[in-house]
Structure 1
Amino acid sequence: MAAKDSPISPSRWTFGVLVVFTMFGFGFGNWLARIPAVRDRLGASTFEMSVIGLTLAAGSLIGLVLAGRTVTWLGPRRAIFYGALGQALFMPLGATLLWFGMPIPGMLALACYGFFFSTSDVAMNVSGAAAERALGKSRMPILHGGYSFGGVSAMGVGALAEMFKVPVPVHLSIVFALVVVGILFAIRRIPRVEPGVSPAEPLPVSTSTGPIQLLANPAAETSPERPSSYNPWRDPRIIVIGFVAMSLSLTEGTATDWLPLALADHRGFTNSAAALALGVFFVAMLSTRAAGSLLLERFGRVAILRASAITAGTSIVLLNVLPFSWAAYVCAGLWGVGSALGFPIGISAAADDPEKAVRGVATVSAIAYAAFLVGPMAIGLLGEHLGLLNAFLPLVAFLIFVIFAAGAAREPGRQTPSKTTG
């Protein structure tokens, strides 16, 4: 039981969660890297591949809707482990079925993969937020930077697999075997969170200033309101935080899906030059996430969210106004900077109350994930009628919302400027 566990260093815990983020980003990134090969093998149209993608996304959304209860039941550590096993089973299985011309069973397997992926995604975010509290420092941007790093690394591995003509089922089977190995390494550094442990039974965690006590079951409620009665969908703060995270996630996803094509169609970029602009976006986003913890400690969530929205909105407007090639690269970089921290901050804010963290994180994740389901289709539809560059402009309205709604994410106990100066 938890009382017999050795003291856990928050730094060790944070490192373990960082490995989890990186491995899951690496696994999913390898699937993304091999989608063109799957399309060629199936001879599928763009629409048919979109349907396959939506099937995976639908499974993910179901997982997110149920993740609050699932992660509460299993605990984050177990949910991460079982999520990794589910991913390692269903992604290679789905890829194999698609590879051999069985799209319907393959899509069902991908939906199952999406379910396990989103469940473990919530679990790793809950565990990361708890590690932040134990450490007393912001670490969520670095954790999400690990996910981005895993995804970027996967693109290189996928390119090598394409070069050596490795069949997709073989490639993904090897990748997800490595993911499981990485998760087994990581969860040894994550506290045990067992269902059924008494809320009064503490989990020992060591810090540089001595041991601190964390509840063994993070979903256990010590306040008069029992966690079973808490519905985050009726919590105005959680809903606003969810829409803030969704707005910046939509901004990020739009660049990922449409920026290269927009530059190729409307700025005359070659495919390689347009891909380079996307590379600038990713590097800027990854760098900002690496520096995000220091920025948050210095300026706080509200200021960073507002600065992110202003930066991203300015980049989108300038991309439409300035016709110069060099300006497109500058705007891509600013877009990456502005998009980087919204979702990590939203997750940290949703987990401020440790008694409600699991359901809060699941709800914010579900709202933000809607941006990845609806956003690309909406931008593409607008792009058909207005042109892709013009289709980016409605994002500015979402970013203006972030500027006004950012206060919902304020850290507990952090004073507003008027109070600090008064």
Structure 2
Amino acid sequence: MTDNTVVTGVLERAPIITRPRVGVALMFLMNGFLIGAWAPKIPEFASRLALSESGLGLMILVFGIGSIVMMPIGGLQIARFGSTTVTRVAALMALPTLLLLSLVGNVWTGAIAIFLFGGLIGAMDVAMNANAVTTEKQMRRSIMSSCHAFWSLGGLIGSASGGLLIAWLGVVGHSLLVSLLAAVMVGIAWPMLLADKPHPEEAKAKVRLPRTPLPWLIGVVALFSMIPEGAVLDWGALYFRNELGASVQLSGLAFGAFSLTMAAMRFAGDLVRDRFGAVRTLRFCTITSMIGLLTAGLANGPVMAMIGFAIAGIGISNMVPIAFSAAGNLPGMAQGIGLSVVTTMGYSGILVAPSAIGFIAEHTGLAAIFIGLPALHLVVLLLSGLARHADRAADPQ
């Protein structure tokens, strides 16, 4: 009557590499790959539709609106059908959207295409994060940080290869190749994903946005973790060039230093979290990010600022994965609901913050922005105790 996985009453952890872990990592890789492949297509997209800078800005805003609209919808469907089904369906529906963006010929069809692209990528984002939480529970070990590392890797591959492939194959040829490669990733991952059909009581439960403050507070953690990430992404190079006197080539290293350390630490983050616990890891990462942002903001030259951004990348790397893992393990709540709240709040920071930062920077300068951003992390520190819910994935049941 005793299962052979039980030792002295405690369930053993699964091996580090399992089929479900490979499957969900491939989904993260595919999602990041599509996003990365879209980045080098933006100039051609704007030219084809004769968009001004403000027009392109509105289109990118439509992408964000699509994500914000579809993320909660994806979370509700997870509560009904499980994360595996929603991940697969969203991935299949997202596959042709990049090609659609390459074929549209006017502003209205372009707006529809980019809304669908952002929306389906966003819905898939919620679902694959929920599946990663389920896989963490099954394995009894942390995997969320490495999943996000694969997303970063996919984005790097998609963006780095995009320009060369567009020059070689053309815009439509590039989209066809990217869609084919993404389909291969989905096909390999499809049978590996851990199935997680909801329990009968969850399926019958009335689905609504949570009334408890817990997921909203964790959403604040995600939001205040992602705003600095978006600030470095959107304003780091301009800070290097305009305020630190860096060359164009050196300015490109601002986000490069940040993203390199962030990706590297995301691959190591699961081991760190399993060793020290989610709360201590989140606090260490938050303080490290604060030190990095202050170093960058107080820098007297590009080298010091680059070091600061690299330190900030180490810190920010595992803050959001811990918040997502905590959201998926909240007691008494279907994980899709909690995750949809936290992911929507988190990603809205990246979508909304850049314009607000630009407005403030006109009056204060970007150095003051990076000096001020650690104030958001003080809130994360105050709420860091909520990260204890992330450790429930590794606790024996």
Please report the TM-score for the alignment, with normalisation by the length of structure 2: 0.89
How far the C-alpha of 1:177 sits from its partner, in A, is: 2.3
How far the C-alpha of 1:162 sits from its partner, in A, is: 4.3
Q: In the aligned structure 2, how far is the partner of 1:248 from the partner of 1:412?
A: 16
2:113 aligned with 1:133: no
Q: Give 3-state SS (helix, strand or coil) of 2:198's partner.
A: coil
Q: Which residue does 1:179 correspond to in 2?
A: 182
Aligned match of 2:294 in 290, 313, 317?
317
Q: In the aligned structure 1, how far is the partner of 2:245 from the partner of 2:137?
A: 48
Q: In the aligned structure 2, how far is the partner of 1:30 from the partner of 1:133?
A: 32
Q: In the aligned structure 1, how far is the partner of 2:186 from the partner of 2:390?
A: 32
How far the C-alpha of 1:231 sits from its partner, in A, is: 4.7
Aligned match of 2:388 in 410, 416, 421?
410
Aligned match of 1:276 in 233, 237, 253?
253
Q: Which residue does 2:304 correspond to in 1?
A: 327
Is this contact kept in 2: 1:345–1:409, CA < 8 A? Answer: yes
Supply the AA of the counterpart residue of 2:249.
S
Q: Which residue does 1:364 correspond to in 2?
A: 342
Q: Which residue does 1:380 correspond to in 2?
A: 358
Is this contact kept in 2: 1:350–1:361, CA < 8 A? Answer: yes
Q: In the aligned structure 1, how far is the partner of 2:201 from the partner of 2:300?
A: 56
Structure 1 unmatched runs, 5+: 1-7, 194-216, 415-422
Q: In the aligned structure 1, how far is the partner of 2:289 from the partner of 2:229?
A: 9
2:58 aligned with 1:51: yes
2:78 aligned with 1:71: yes
Q: In the aligned structure 1, how far is the partner of 2:178 from the partner of 2:200?
A: 36
Q: Which residue does 1:228 correspond to in 2?
A: 205
Q: Give 3-state SS (helix, strand or coil) of 1:258's partner.
A: helix
How far the C-alpha of 1:38 sits from its partner, in A, is: 2.2
Q: In the aligned structure 1, how far is the partner of 2:356 from the partner of 2:316?
A: 19
Q: CA 1:359/1:45 → structure 2, altered by over 3 Å: closer, same or farther?
A: same
Q: In the aligned structure 1, how far is the partner of 2:207 from the partner of 2:387?
A: 19
How far the C-alpha of 1:318 sits from its partner, in A, is: 1.8
How far the C-alpha of 1:32 sits from its partner, in A, is: 1.3
Is this contact kept in 2: 1:300–1:411, CA < 8 A? Answer: no
How far the C-alpha of 1:353 sits from its partner, in A, is: 4.1
Q: In the aligned structure 1, how far is the partner of 2:271 from the partner of 2:391?
A: 19
Supply the AA of the counterpart residue of 1:84.
A
Q: Which residue does 2:32 correspond to in 1?
A: 25
Is this contact kept in 2: 1:94–1:107, CA < 8 A? Answer: no
Q: Which residue does 1:199 correspond to in 2?
A: none
Aligned match of 2:231 in 251, 254, 257?
254
Q: Give 3-state SS (helix, strand or coil) of 2:142's partner.
A: coil
Structure 2 unmatched runs, 5+: 1-13, 393-397
Q: Which residue does 1:107 correspond to in 2?
A: 111
Aligned match of 1:124 in 120, 128, 148?
128
Q: In the aligned structure 2, how far is the partner of 1:237 from the partner of 1:227?
A: 23
How far the C-alpha of 1:339 sits from its partner, in A, is: 1.3
Q: In the aligned structure 1, how far is the partner of 2:60 from the partner of 2:142?
A: 33
State the identity as a percent: 28
Number of positions where the alignment pairs a residue of Structure 1 with one of Structure 2: 377
2:229 aligned with 1:263: no
Q: Which residue does 1:218 correspond to in 2?
A: 198
Q: In the aligned structure 2, how far is the partner of 1:43 from the partner of 1:232?
A: 40
Q: CA 1:221/1:412 → structure 2, altered by over 3 Å: closer, same or farther?
A: farther
Supply the AA of the counterpart residue of 2:324.
I
Equivalence map 1:158-173=2 (5 Å): 158-164=162-168, 166-173=169-176
How far the C-alpha of 1:118 sits from its partner, in A, is: 1.3
